[in-house]
């Protein structure tokens, strides 16, 4: 189709449970997809965009990159790395007319979240920490990607836009322990 103008690095794996229980092979697999996959995708896209002096790379991060979550294993750390990759690529690519931004969704109705959203106890917890009281629909995240890829966002680079139903504004706190 000609030049590469927009790239979205969206592939991800999640793990659930306490970070102390994460096995090394799970850590390696998750970081290979979430961090290395994003890095290689961004780098390959940037190499195609630089000669044209234009383009937008959009990475998918997460709210847990900022607040963490004690039941998501090493997933929050991997998404924190995606935030920093976004900033680093943005700095490197700005002189070439290429932008790099990220979206940090809260819980979203995707296949990856389906088991979590089907569990009434976990769903209640999600609703308690999301002022909008529900998970996002994929279209709500996609509409932010459309904006970030458009000329309306031409001065935006190196930023992560959080589409989280108010979760970060709530100042989520740890549950009480026994």
Question: Which amino acids are annotated catalytic?
Answer: 62, 75, 79
Question: From CA 44, how far away is CA 46, in angstroms rounded?
Answer: 6
- Cβ count near 22 (within 10 Å): 17
Residue 105, strand partner residues: 163
Start-to-end Cα distance in the chain:
59
Phi, psi of 55 (to 5 degrees): 145, 160
By C-alpha distance, which of 99, 111, 113, 106 is closest to 158?
99
**Cα–Cα distance for residue pair 143/121, rounded to 1 Å:** 30
| Residue 49, H or E segment | helix 37-49
Distance CA(70)–CA(53), nearest Å, equals 42
Tell me the C-alpha to C-alpha distance, in Å, between residue 142 and each of 24, 58, 62, 174. 33, 11, 14, 30
């Amino acid at each position: 189709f000609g030049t590469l103008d927009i790239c979205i690095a969206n592939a991800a794996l999640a793990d659930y449970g306490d970070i102390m229980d994460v096995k090394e092979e799970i850590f390696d697999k998750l970081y290979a997809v979430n961090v290395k996959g994003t890095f290689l995708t961004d780098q390959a896209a940037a190499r195609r965009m630089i000669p044209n002096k234009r383009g937008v790379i959009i990475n998918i991060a997460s709210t847990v990159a900022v607040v963490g979550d004690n039941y998501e294993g090493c997933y929050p750390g991997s998404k924190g790395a995606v935030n920093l990759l976004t900033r680093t690529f943005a700095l490197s690519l700005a002189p070439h007319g290429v932008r790099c931004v990220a979206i940090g969704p809260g819980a979203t109705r995707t296949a990856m979240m389906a088991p979590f959203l089907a569990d009434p106890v976990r769903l209640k917890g999600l609703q308690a920490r999301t002022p909008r009281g529900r998970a996002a629909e994929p279209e709500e995240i996609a509409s932010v990607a459309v904006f970030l890829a458009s000329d309306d966002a031409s001065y935006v680079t190196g930023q992560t836009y959080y589409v989280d139903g108010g979760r970060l504004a709530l100042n989520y706190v740890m549950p009480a322990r026994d």
